Structure 1
Amino acid sequence: MHDIRAIRDNPAAFDAGLSRRGLSAMSSEVLALDEARRALILKAETAQAEANKAAKEVGAAKARGDEDEFQRLRAQVAENKAQIASLNDGAKAKDAELQALLLGIPNIPYDDVPDGKDEADNVEIHRYGNPRNFAFQPLEHYDIPAVQDGMDFETAAKLSGSRFVLLSGSVARLHRALAQFMLDTHVEEHGLTETITPVLVREEMMVGTGQLPKFGEDSYQTTNGWWLIPTAEVTLTNIVNGLTIEESYLPRRYAAHTLCFRSEAGSAGRDTSGMLRQHQFEKVEMVTVCTPETSDAEHTRMTTQAQNILEKLELPYRTVILCSGDMGAGARRTHDIEVWLPGQNTYREISSISTCGAYQARRMNARYKPSAGGKPEFVHTLNGSGLAVGRTLIAVLENGQEEDGSVTLPAVLHPYLRGKTRIDASGSLV
C-alpha cells in the first residue's frame, strides 16, 4: 500500500510511476478523498472543541442560577454531540473508501526497472550454461517413455478435473528428492530458516501480501472464509504482520516447502501443457524481511540463491529483469529466472524474485525499531521461488532425456535417490 503523505508531497511522481505500469494518473482521485476525509476530521475536532467549551459553561450557568442560559447550553451540547458523531462517521466512511482505493493500486517501479508493456520488453541480465545439442528430437516431459507411467493426467482429471496430475513411482520419488535438495541447500548453504507453515490463512493475511482485494479470482476460498495459499509468500511474510520488532532481529530469511493453489483464471495456450501450469503444485519459497538499507542487497542475494539451485542441477537458464508493465502488482523490481526446456525449444519461468519495498509492510503494519533510536519504520519485504518443484522436475526430465527413452539425472540428486542415477525407459530408477 502507498504512503498517503508521499502522494501529497509529490503527486506528479506518483502518477509518473503508475504511467510506467501503463495506468492512468490517480493522484487527483486519491487526494480528493484524502482532503474530504481530513476536512471532516477538522470539522469534528472544531465541533468537539465547541462542545467542550459549552460543557464548561453549562456548569457555570447552573451555578449562577441562569436557567435560560443553562437550557440553551445543554441543547447546544446535545446538538454538538450529534454533529460530532455524524462527522466522525463521515470521516470513517471516507477513510475506508481511501484505504480501499489505496489497497487496489499497484506498487511503483524502481528507477532501474526498464520501461515496457509486456514480456517482450524484459531485459536479460544473466545467462548460464548452453542448451544441450541432442542427436534426436527431444520430447516434452509427458511424452518421454521413462516418464509416461509415472505421470498420469487422466486419473488426476477423473479425481479432480483438468490441470491436476497424479505422480507415482520413480517420478514421484524424483519430485520429492528435488524438494528435499532445495531445502537442504537453502538451509545449509544459504542460511535460510526452514519453516513449516499452514496452507489455509485468514483473509487479512491475503490482504497483507497483496493477493486481496484485487486478485481474489486467482485463488481459492473455503466456505468458512479461509483462503488456500497461492504461495508460502503469504504465510512467511505475514509472520511479522502487526509487529514492531528490533532492528537487531533483522534480516529474517525464511524458506518453506508447501503445497500451493491457484485458479489460473484466464490462462490458456502452450503454458498449460503437461505439468507446466497446475491448480495444485509444490514450491520451495524464500522470503526476506529486512531494513530499507539492505533490501537491494537482499534482492541480489535471493536471485543468486535461486540461480545456485539450477546450477547445481546443471540446467541452462537465463535471468531477466521484468519491465515496468510486466511486473506483479506488489513488486518494485522483479528478476525472473527462466530454465531451458528442450521439449519446447524455449526458456520458461521457474522462479520470480521480487523486492516489494515497504508496500506489503504498510498493508501489514509491520515495523522495526532502529538501533540508533527514533520512530519505528516500515520493514522491507522480498519473496521468490527457490524453486517451483514441478517445473524443476520438468526441466530435469527434458534436459536429461536420452534417445532410448531413459532419463539421466543430475549428480547432485544421486544421494537423495540412494545412489540411483537414471530412470530407464520402463520407468524404473537404476
Structure 2
Amino acid sequence: MSLAASKSPKNIVVVGGGIQGTSVAFALAERDFKVTVLEAVRPASAASGKGGGFMARSWGDGGPTEGLHHVAFDLYETLAPSLGCTSYRKLPVLSVSPGKSPLDLATKKRHGEMLPSWLDGNLGRVSVMGSGDDTAQITPSEFVEKMLEKHAGRIHVVKGTCTGVTCTEQNQVSSVEYSDENSKACSLIADTVIVSAGPWSCAAEDWFDGALKLPMEGVKSTSIVWKKPESIETVDATALFCGEDSRFGTHLEVYPRPNGEIYICGIGGSDYISTEELKQGAFRNECNAKDARVKAAVASFQEMSSTYRQNGELEKQQACMRPCPPDAMPYMGAVPGYSGAYINAGHNCWGIAWAPACGQAMAELILDGQSKCVDLSLFDPARFTPAAQRGERGRKRQGTSVGEQW
C-alpha cells in the first residue's frame, strides 16, 4: 500500500502516452483533474499505434483478469461512440485451420454470412469462436486521439523521456525528471506519478531505490496492414484466428477494419527483449518489421484468400512490442513505501483491450484509495519484490540515492 492515498492531487504526471497511460489520464480528467502526460516519442507511437485492437468480453472468464475484460468491454461500448470513434464495432470471429483446398459446400452452408467473401482460397477446418455479441475491435490510435481531444483542456502532453522521480525525505513524490528532445535535463512538479510506459516501465525499478522489482520481457513482433482491393466494394467484417501453418511458420490473427484495411499479426519469428535492454530504451524510438516475416505473412494469407493473392497490396509493414511479466499478469497498484507513486504496466497482449478498465481502476485507486471497478490485489506491482526489500526508504533524485537510509 502507499503511505497515503492522494485524495486530491494537484500535480499529476502520467509517464507514457500509449493507450494505457492515456486511459489513466482520461479517467482522471473525467473527474475534473488536470494531468500531464510525459511521452518519449508521440501519443500511440508504440503498440498502441500498431496493434490490432481486438477485444473479447468473455475470454478471461474464470481467470484473474475476468474483471478487466468485462469492465473494459462494456466501457468501450459506451465510450467509443460518445468520443466519435469510427473504428469501433462488434464483429464475429472464426477459427481457421490451414489447408490445401477451397471450402466445401457444406462448410459454406453451415457458416453462412459469417464467412467473409475474401476468404476464398485454400483452407482446412473452420469453426465459430464468437458470434459478435462479446467480440469487438477498435483502432487503438484513434481511441488515444479521441481521448486527448475530449480533454484537451485537462490533459497536457509533454515530449520527453523520463529519467527518474524525485521524492521528499518522507518519500512523497515531488517531481518527475526527464530528458527533452534536445537531451536537456528537465523537471515536472508532481505530487502523483503513474508509470504506464508499456515494456519500458521496468525502468521504474531504479527510480524508487529498489522498493520494487518489475521483471519484464518485451516480445517484439511484426505485423502488416493490407489496403482494400479496388476489385471489391466491401471487406466483410469477420476476424480470423488461424492455426499454426508449418509451411510459413505463422499462426495468423486477421482483423478487417471498418475503413477496409485488414490488419494481420501472429506472424511468428518474434524477438524477446530483456529487462535490462528495455531499461536502456531498446526499440522505443524505432521498431521495424522483419522482411522475412512480412513475406511469410503475405504468403500465408494469400494462400487463404484468392482475392488478396490476385489484387492484394500492402499498406504497412511494422513491428511493436508487448510487455510480459513472468506470470503474464499486469502490474497495477501503488509503489510500496511511497506516497503518490503508482505503476500501471505489463498488460501483455490484452493491454489495448483492457485499457478503459485499467484507466478507471487506477483513477479510483489514486483518488478514492482503492479500485471499485476491478479487484487489483492480484496485480500487486511488488509481487516479485523480496519482502525485506519492499518500500525501502530513502531520498531519491533521478534514480540515484542522495541521502541516508533509515
Q: Which structure: greater helix fraction?
A: 1
Q: Which structure: greater strand fraction?
A: 2
* Shorter-chain TM-score range: under 0.3
TM-score by length of 1: 0.22
TM-score by length of 2: 0.23
